[in-house]
Amino acid sequence: MIREKKGIGILLAVLFTMAALCFTVSDAHASTYTGKYWLKVNEQQNVITAYKKIDGKWKPIRAMLCSTGLGGTTPKGTFYTQGRWNWGELMNDVYGQYCTHITDDILFHSVYYTERFDKASQVTSQFNMLGQSASHGCVRLSVVDAKWIYYTCKIGTKVTIYRSDNPGPLGKPAPIKVYTGRYKYWDPTDPDPANPYYVIDAPTIRVSPKKPLTVQYGKKNYNPKSYVYAKDPNTFMNLKDFIKVSKVARYSSKKGKYVSDTFSTNKLGTYKITYTVTAPYGKSASTTIKLKVVDNLKAPVISGAKSRTVTWGDKNAVKGITAKQASAIRTSAMKVYIKAPGAKKYKIYSYQDAKNYRFAKTGKYSVKYIVKNKYAPYKAAKKVITITSKKGAVNNDPQLTLPPAFNAALVGTDGSCNTPLAVQPRISTDLITGISAVHNGKDVTSKLKIAIKGPSDADFQPVTAEEAAAWIFDCEGEYQIKYSVKNAYTPYQTVSKIVLVKVGGCS
């Protein structure tokens, strides 16, 4: 309780009057309370539970031991804080740190000191009473807790004082006991750097055993911090909101060590993430987790694999087909199995070879595409389609035209010839003029091939167009001149005509 001396009493009376004018809240106002914190004081258990409004809901964040009034002298009800003092004069010539006015002459304050401003004058036996009723009505706390209320909870903060067997959702903190061989000394929780007796424990930080060792590439809204928890053992305060990332490193196979990086599920690799939490009293703790971003859950996806029709002679068995897994393009890793018309077995081709594959027959081709997950080969995708090869306009035979005299000298399929072309030896003979080739309306005469087989030759010998334009037959006998032109689209389609030439006697 506040000491009622003449001067002090007048000052406090003024302060209380001002506070009443400024901060006394009606029931209607109480129902629309917009403050961030709500302090609930369990007078029976001597525990204060601090609540914070998070996402519209009151959540317990801190439990604090206290000493309420002996004999139920601490008033019950709901109040709103009305003022505060760094040092306040209390009853019986004693003093308290971090005083926050609750109602009338009731305060939150530290365990009392015999000397104002002398932090080594706190009565140790009274500190050891925290967790039990001991005051004249005020609510005593350790310095660290009184300071937290003083600096965290603004004037007008809601305070509810009640009685219950249940200490509260965070339980009742274990008391800190100090040596009482000395009548007075420092509060062991006072975070003042000069405190030789500071015994606040560091926060605890741990990783949930449910934390996965891996996370799939590209996972959205994934935060490894969700598996990290921290708590203040002094107050049972949940420190999760205070956890920060202090270091991230990703393993570099090129450098053979972990290097500084930022965590992302869009980057494969093994990460070390260090989390650090600093309690409101300044002490810190850290923990490091290892997490691997992988892409081994699903088979790749093959796109564009649909049965289709091609023209006989077309190339490319993988046209328009792609493969992709979450972290990589897998198109070039595809294996392509092709069973041609009339074949009993599939032949295996690489993606590049399948790209150059020519449909050399008409009919139905069964084509199977298989691609494996780069990091989990047992996860494979397969698509089977039918490619039908049909004859098209490009497959028409070229048209080879010869002069009339050459046409008359053509050799039939049975080897017969009606009117061989007669020429004289050692005379230049034009074997090319008047000959033309057309394919699908396009002049392809330049693609014409000419070969000559003499009386003593076992086979045809190729000659150039320039040579054929002024060919000289050296000896008499029968010569065969073969004119050939290939289908440019299906080169195995060749049109040939053979002209029989009879050369007169040699001199």
Task: Provide the β-strand partners of residue 485.
Answer: 495
Q: Is the dihedral of CA 236, 242, 246, 249 positive or negative?
A: positive
What is residue 245's predicted lDDT score, i.e. its pLDDT? 96
Question: What pLDDT is recorded for position 293?
Answer: 98
Question: Which residues lie below 8 Å from residue 226, measured CB to CB, with a gap of 6+?
Answer: none
CA-to-CA distance for 170 and 62, rounded, in angstroms?
7
Q: Quote the pLDDT of residue 505.
A: 64
Annotated catalytic residues are 109, 138
The domain spans of the chain are 37-185, 204-294, 301-390, 399-503
DSSP 8-class letter at 468: H
Q: Which residues does the chain have with pLDDT short of 50?
A: 4-29, 507
Q: What is the pTM of this model?
A: 0.61
Reference 188, options 171, 175, 172; nearest CA is 175
**Strands (E) located in 334-464:** 335-339, 347-350, 363-372, 380-390, 399-401, 421-423, 428-429, 436-439, 442-443, 449-453, 461-463
pLDDT tens-place string over residues 284-301: 999 999 999 999 999 999
Contact by Cβ (8 Å): 336, 355: no
Q: What is the pLDDT of residue 18?
A: 40
CATH second-level architecture of 204-294? Sandwich (2.60)
301-390 adopts what CATH topology?
Immunoglobulin-like (2.60.40)
For 451, the 3-state DSSP assignment is: strand
pLDDT tens per residue, range 139-159:
999 999 999 999 999 999 999
**How far, in Å, CA of 501 to CA of 421, rounded?**
5
* Topology match between the domains 37-185 and 399-503: no
What is the rounded distance in angstroms from the CA atom of residue 432 to the CA atom of residue 481? 11
What pLDDT, on the 0 to 100 scale, is given for residue 454? 92
Rounded Cα gap, residues 147 and 14, in angstroms: 24
Determine the topology of domain 37-185 in CATH.
Answer: L,D-transpeptidase catalytic domain-like (2.40.440)
CATH topology of domain 399-503: Immunoglobulin-like (2.60.40)
